[in-house]
Amino acid sequence: MISLKSPREIDCMRRAGRLTAQARALAGSLVRPGVTTHEIDAAVRKFIESHGAKPSFLGYGGFSGSACISINEQVIHGIPGPRKLKEGDIVSIDVGAFLDGFHGDCAATFPCGEVSEEAMRLIRVTEESFWKGIAHARPGKRVYDISHAVQQYVEGNGFSVVRDFVGHGVGAKLHEPPEVPNYGPAGHGARLQPGMTIAVEPMVCAGDWRVKVLKDGWTTISADGSLTAHYENTILITDGEPEVLTVAEE
């Protein structure tokens, strides 16, 4: 069942979302050649815990990191470790923070030093597709109106959207109904109502949309080895324009 949040719960989610967005910004600021993904992960964990919160991903389903850090062809769920970032890498960082009983969830892809023009276009189109999608995040519309807008924009720019993983509701649980795909026909899915809080998260491949999960059970890569990007925010459905909850400023 889809949870509609009360005003008190929404205030809690704003606080969790703000902290999560600040953790994402911190992580992005650390992306540079020679830095290990473990170093970024440790900084994210320290920052979140210093604010009295818990990293949402740490221990989730057995995940060992506080952030998912995915490089180049890695779409999502990259496990932090000793790998050093290199000039030209693109780095997707997904973070969550659990504060006052609620989760925030957001992600972005960051360039490491100088990257190719195509890599920057992929990063830009992925983020832009999020904004195209949430233009439809209004009461009375349906979940797949968001999905369709994301897909149309991504594919119109020559890229593809991942089908095997989707966005989701967020609240007291990290993953709640409804699922929010990045593809599909407009006019389908749950009807959007004020008080719904969802994570919209385009996952985009420069090549084919098919992905595979590596033997570690987590790291998900593009099956054809093409570059990938990820952008996500937690949003609130209101009586009018959607409110992005994962913003770093008050």
Residue 132 lies in a domain: yes
Residue 175 lies in a domain: yes
Burial 135-155 (b: 16+ CB within 10 A, else e): ebbbeebbbbbbbbbbbbbbe
* pLDDT above 80 (res 201): yes
Residue 233 lies in a domain: yes
pLDDT in tens, 205-247: 999 999 999 999 999 999 999 999 999 999 999 999 999 999 9
Residue 1 lies in a domain: no
**Quick one: pLDDT at residue 64?**
97
Distance, first Cα to last Cα, the chain: 31
* pLDDT above 90 (res 249): no
Residue 232 lies in a domain: yes
Predicted confidence band at 250 (pLDDT cuts at 50, 70, 90)? Answer: low
**Full residue range of the structural domain in which residue 221 is found:** 7-244
pLDDT in tens, 146-177: 999 999 999 999 999 999 999 999 999 999 99
pLDDT in tens, 101-133: 999 999 999 999 999 999 999 999 999 999 999
pLDDT in tens, 78-98: 999 999 999 999 999 999 999
Residue 2 lies in a domain: no
Residue 249 lies in a domain: no
pLDDT in tens, 3-55: 999 999 999 999 999 999 999 999 999 999 999 999 999 999 999 999 999 99
Residue 239 lies in a domain: yes
CATH code at position 171: 3.90.230.10
pLDDT in tens, 132-144: 999 999 999 999 9
Q: Answer for the pair 35, 85: CB distance below 8 angstroms, yes or no.
A: yes
**Quick one: pLDDT at residue 5?**
98
Q: Is 83 left (phi over 0), alpha (psi -120 to 50) or beta?
A: beta
Tokens of 247: 């913003």
Interhelix angle for 117-134 vs 143-156, to 10°?
Answer: 160
- What's the structural domain count of the chain? 1
CA–CA separation, 142 and 186 (whole Å): 8
* Polymer length of the chain: 250
Query: Where do the DSSP E strands lie in 36-131?
Result: 54-55, 67-71, 74-76, 90-99, 102-111
Pairing mode, strands 243-244 and 233-236? antiparallel
Count of CB atoms situated within 10 Å of the CB of 128: 16
Q: Answer for the pair 234, 24: CB distance below 8 angstroms, yes or no.
A: no
Q: Answer for the pair 226, 126: CB distance below 8 angstroms, yes or no.
A: no
